[in-house]
Amino acid sequence: MKYALVTGGSRGIGRATCQKLAEAGYNVIINYASNTAEAEKTLELCKGNGELLPFDVSDAEATRKALTQWQESHPDDYIEVLVNNAGIRRDNVMALMPEEDWHRVLDITLSGFYNVTTILIPQMQLHKYGRIINMASLSGLKGMPGQTNYSAAKGGIIAATKALALEIARKKITVNAIAPGFIKTDMTEGLDEAALKKMIPANRFGDPEEVADLVVFLASPKASYITGNVISINGGLYT
């Protein structure tokens, strides 16, 4: 049995990723923080190839406890694919940004990446195989006004991806980031889609499934020579 963990897997890109990985033959561990109803919908889409594992990735102790318990209950298995997808937006201009909004965005996206990844790397190294796929953003590549916290978090993910890839490539573990542009999810609700489409050469927002297909490719043996890269999926937006 091949196992893949998707953090923030209950909705949007996370949900599409869980479904696509399940279709590709993985038993998907669907992580979420609190929205059990949405996580159960994702589980249904995995059609028997999934399980729920709730914990807050920003809570280091809760993360360690949940993943350690999973490993102890699966002594003959390991999580070979990790998709660090969990993240939130709390947009505001820097001058008016509450300190809590700065820390919360970085704690979930950047510290969450650290909390989860450090626990799973040893088993990947032991088995000399692994795939770590980090969800970055257009905002992390070029910066976006009103998203200093989000840009900082996603930019940090990109830099960490490149550094970690160099550390563990010899163990046949790849580390890559995906930088979506405007994708139709809860994260882009409230944006002026009609106006923003005019900026996009493809003249549309992307679908979560398009991002998920890229995740599945990077998770596969076919992507074994791709590591330390940031792949944009944005309809041609300049980055």
Query: Catalytic residue numbers?
Result: 150
Q: Extract long-range pairs of 86-90: CB within 8 Å, 24+ residues apart.
A: 86/7, 86/8, 86/14, 86/31, 86/33, 86/57, 86/112, 87/8, 87/112, 87/135, 87/150, 87/153, 87/154, 89/147, 89/150, 89/187, 90/149, 90/150
The letter for the amino acid at 123 is Q
Cα–Cα dist 142/160, whole Å: 17
| CA–CA–CA angle 129, 161, 210 (5° rounding) | 80
Cα–Cα dist 141/154, whole Å: 8
Cα–Cα dist 132/124, whole Å: 10
